[in-house]
Amino acid sequence: MFKRIFLFILTNILVVATISILLSVLGVTHYIEQAESEYSINFRSLLILCLIWGFTGALISLALSKVMAKWMMGLHVIDPRNATGVEAQLVSAVHRLARQAGLTTMPEVAIYESEEVNAFATGPTRSNSLVAVSTGLLENMSWDEVEGVLGHEVAHIANGDMVTMTLLQGVINAFVLFLSRVLAFVISTAMSRSDEENSFPYVLNSILTFVFDIILTLLGSLVVAAFSRYREYRADAGGARLAGRHKMIAALDRLRRTQELVDNSSAPAMASFKISNKGGFLALFSTHPPLEERIRRLQQGNY
């Protein structure tokens, strides 16, 4: 927990420092200082507002993640006290893996109806989490492969990936909101000075803000996607340690073979095992690395 808080604070410091350096290098700081005195605008207050604004949506999304998953996916949450057959086996496996991972509060376990071979983990904290698997996964995987998948999802929870991704998204949101408004303001102000009436072009400012919001959001998504790919490798490694490397490799190989048979373009966005077939530049926006590379790393012990 303290490590994550430290990383969170450090990330914010680095983001603020990056913004300051970037604005200074681009010569924007000079215009900001002039604008603050000329238009009585406080960009420091704007930065604080953007941090609050950027994090609010991300934190609300995190807080509601488990509730929304249950509602949107039609999850059947298994009651451990009444579970029998495959359901009891699932709960037992998840809880065993969770204890191995050092979790003190067991995740909820759920099944949802879908032909997709898929699974995901969600929840706002390590002590308030959920692991869900599709009926398609249970029908198409051996039990060893299922355990590999469960180990991967439990590793996501143990690593605090849901919280970390939320913090990263909050930082990106704040960066986009602040920088797009500063750039739009500076350009609009510079253009207004060539106007005979020297009036502030509010319409132009709004248009530029909208454009910069889109551009910077796309750039920010590259950062989020890159970190997401990194956390997938880390969850694979965690799954290998918890369930066994051969089970994790078998699960990924099954997914690779299944990928050749089904079109997974309609897979739920939150699913941890969603695989992208994007290539070239579009691969930079993929949240998951290629299955072949994930398997190769595990086979070579590069984790």
Q: 11: which residues sit within 8 A by CB, 6+ positions away?
A: 167, 168, 171
Edge-to-edge strand list for the sheet holding 108-112: 76-77, 108-112, 128-134, 119-125
> What confidence score (pLDDT) does residue 271 get?
46
- Are 93 and 101 contacting, i.e. CB atoms less than 8 angstroms apart? no
Mean pLDDT of 155-163: 92
pLDDT tops 60 at residue 8: no
pLDDT tops 60 at residue 33: no
Mean pLDDT of 7-15: 50
> What confidence score (pLDDT) does residue 260 get?
72
pLDDT tops 90 at residue 219: no
Top pLDDT among 204 and 243 is at 243
Q: 107: which residues sit within 8 A by CB, 6+ positions away?
A: 94, 95, 98, 121, 123, 129, 130, 131, 154, 157
> What confidence score (pLDDT) does residue 31 get?
54
- Name the pLDDT band for 13 (thresholds 50, 70, 90): low
Mean pLDDT of 233-237: 95
pLDDT tops 90 at residue 231: yes
Q: How many Cα atoms within 13 Å fall on the side-chain side of residue 163?
A: 16
pLDDT tops 60 at residue 266: no
- Are 223 and 172 contacting, i.e. CB atoms less than 8 angstroms apart? yes
Q: 211: which residues sit within 8 A by CB, 6+ positions away?
A: 184
Long-range CB pairs of 10-13, under 8 A, 24+ apart, other chains included: 11/167, 11/168, 11/171, 12/51, 12/171
- Name the pLDDT band for 166 (thresholds 50, 70, 90): confident
> What confidence score (pLDDT) does residue 202 get?
67
pLDDT tops 50 at residue 102: yes
pLDDT tops 80 at residue 93: yes
pLDDT tops 80 at residue 22: no
pLDDT tops 80 at residue 18: no
pLDDT digits (tens, 9 = 90+) for 170-216: 888 888 888 888 888 878 777 766 655 545 566 777 788 888 888 88
Mean pLDDT of 23-48: 57
> What confidence score (pLDDT) does residue 210 get?
84
The average confidence (pLDDT) of the chain is 80
Positive or negative torsion for Cα 281, 284, 285, 288: positive
- Name the pLDDT band for 100 (thresholds 50, 70, 90): very high
> What confidence score (pLDDT) does residue 20 get?
52
> What confidence score (pLDDT) does residue 86 get?
94
> What confidence score (pLDDT) does residue 249 get?
95
Which residues does the annotation mark as catalytic?
A: 153
Percent of the chain with pLDDT over 90: 38
- Name the pLDDT band for 246 (thresholds 50, 70, 90): very high
Can you give the length of the chain in residues?
303
User: What does the domain layout of the chain look like in residue ranges?
Assistant: 1-303
pLDDT tops 80 at residue 160: yes
Longest dimension (CA), the chain: 80
- Are 298 and 249 contacting, i.e. CB atoms less than 8 angstroms apart? yes
- Name the pLDDT band for 1 (thresholds 50, 70, 90): very low
